[in-house]
Amino acid sequence: MDANLIRKIFHAQIAVNGHIIGACVGSGITAKYTVWGGTDFLLAVAAGKYRIMGRSSLASYLCYGNNNDIVMEMGTRELFPLIHKTPVIFGLFAQDPNLDLKTYLPAIQAAGFAGVTNFPTLSLIDGKFRTALEQEGTTFAQEVTALKQAHELGLFTVAFVTTIAEARAMLAAQADIICVHLGLTLGGYLGAKQSRSINEAKNTAATIFRFCKKENPQIITAIYSGMANTVIDMDYFYQNTQCDCYIGGSTFDRIPMEQAIVTTAKKFKNQRVKLPHPESKPDYVYFVQKYIEANYMRNIQLGDLALTLHISPAYLSSLFKQKVGTSFTSYLVEYRLNLAQKLLRKTDLSCKEISHRVGYHNYAQFSKIFKIKFGYSPYNYRNSIHNHIIP
């Protein structure tokens, strides 16, 4: 996709929606579903691939593999077969000693990438290590040069910065987006455990954005994750800074996956009701009773249970009544009403809440059935208990 067209589309999106979003991805599945969710552009970065491998994003700063090779392979094998209309930005490790920008940038463009970003970036490194790296020739200036040449080649560029000095250099290189990197995303199992306050981060971003907008009013300003990993956090930045864009990494690919996988596994592990083994003598009635015990709040149909057990509904109904002495429907109603009675006695939940808790989403129906069994409506039943009319 042409860089001029991307700029035009992004500025139109910002004018209409107030902002755009980008996602740093490490796999085809993350890319596919973030695009389905409305992501405006993708950043293919080695950190994303390490996250999908169950490692920290910081692994992209260590000698586990060639970052540029990882991104090139991910783009050509995983992303482009799935993503056809959304711009994909190449996460370039500009300090690679074997990198020849004159040949590699055209290769990035030929592969189908719409742009380039400087990640991993030296801007996240400080202190003695940063000084030592720069003394031996590994500098942020190499990232600036890479994005400048990418721009001259017609590629869209996204610049990660942490200071006004870095932003000034990237503006001179004609970067299309200046993104203030707020550090690794908080949250989840692999995320950063410590971070500065969101107010401090807001002040840093606001200062850099003011400078950028003064130098170039058309520049698109963004922040990357850090402690801003919720919609509420981002609304705070949109309201209090000149931020045009949110770029998320773990927010989109790691944290939702961690939560979903852990929760699903726990549900299956803790599942108490088990289907009878086909070769054993199944106790279908016991299964139905245990299922009601665990799922009384849901819509339960005898036909569905019979289908699960591979027997006919008529046979299951007859078997249930023969063993329990009442029909399936009567048993289910009795179970729910007895539970509702306990909740009315022992909790402060409203009658409507109790109705929902025990599987009745139509309160009028619940109240009518309850009154038939106990002689009082749920409301009057509770009042009678409080007034000691009912022991």
Same domain (yes/no): 282, 225: no
- Spatial separation of the C-alpha atoms in residues 82 and 139, rounded to whole Å: 35
Same domain (yes/no): 206, 85: yes
- Spatial separation of the C-alpha atoms in residues 336 and 342, rounded to whole Å: 10
At a CB cut-off of 8 Å and minimum separation 6, what does 271 contact?
A: none
Residue at a domain's end among 226, 260, 294: 260
Residue span of the structural domain in which 23 resides: 3-260
Look up the CATH number of the domain holding residue 84: 3.20.20.70
Query: What pLDDT score does 186 carry?
Result: 44
Query: What pLDDT score does 173 carry?
Result: 97
- Spatial separation of the C-alpha atoms in residues 118 and 147, rounded to whole Å: 7
Asked, for residue 267, whether it belongs to a domain, the answer is no
- Spatial separation of the C-alpha atoms in residues 14 and 363, rounded to whole Å: 46
φ, ψ dihedrals at 42, nearest 5°: -115, 145
Same domain (yes/no): 68, 149: yes
| Residue 185: DSSP 8-state | P
Look up the CATH number of the domain holding residue 286: 1.10.10.60
- The amino acid occupying position 15 is A
Asked, for residue 266, whether it belongs to a domain, the answer is no
- Spatial separation of the C-alpha atoms in residues 250 and 331, rounded to whole Å: 48
Same domain (yes/no): 142, 168: yes
Predicted confidence pLDDT, tens digits, the chain (391 residues): 799 999 999 999 998 888 999 998 988 888 998 999 999 999 999 887 878 767 766 767 777 789 999 999 999 999 999 999 999 999 999 999 999 999 999 999 999 999 999 999 998 888 888 888 888 888 999 999 999 999 999 999 999 999 999 999 999 999 999 999 987 644 333 333 445 578 888 999 999 999 999 999 999 999 997 777 788 888 889 999 999 999 987 777 767 677 777 777 887 777 665 555 544 557 889 889 999 998 888 889 998 888 878 889 999 999 999 999 999 999 999 999 999 999 988 888 899 999 999 999 899 999 999 999 989 899 888 888 777 676 6
Q: Looking at the 3D structure of the chain, how many domains does it have?
A: 2
Same domain (yes/no): 228, 357: no
Same domain (yes/no): 157, 291: no
Same domain (yes/no): 206, 327: no
Asked, for residue 82, whether it belongs to a domain, the answer is yes
Residue at a domain's end among 240, 260, 280: 260
Same domain (yes/no): 178, 33: yes
Q: Is 88 helix (H, G, I), strand (E, B) or coil?
A: strand
Alpha helices in the chain (DSSP H): 3-17, 28-36, 46-52, 67-74, 101-111, 127-135, 140-152, 164-172, 198-215, 231-240, 250-253, 255-269, 284-295, 302-309, 313-324, 328-346, 351-357, 363-374, 378-386
Same domain (yes/no): 255, 279: no
At a CB cut-off of 8 Å and minimum separation 6, what does 390 contact?
A: 376, 381, 384
Asked, for residue 112, whether it belongs to a domain, the answer is yes
Asked, for residue 265, whether it belongs to a domain, the answer is no
- Spatial separation of the C-alpha atoms in residues 215 and 328, rounded to whole Å: 74
Cβ burial, residue 44 (10 Å; 0-12/13-18/19+): buried
Query: What pLDDT score does 194 carry?
Result: 45
Query: What pLDDT score does 190 carry?
Result: 37
Asked, for residue 58, whether it belongs to a domain, the answer is yes
Place of tokens 């002689």: 375
Asked, for residue 150, whether it belongs to a domain, the answer is yes
Same domain (yes/no): 283, 334: yes
- Spatial separation of the C-alpha atoms in residues 250 and 247, rounded to whole Å: 10
Place of tokens 């009384």: 296
Same domain (yes/no): 304, 204: no
- Does the CA dihedral 376-378-384-385 come out positive or negative? positive
Asked, for residue 300, whether it belongs to a domain, the answer is yes
Same domain (yes/no): 278, 369: yes
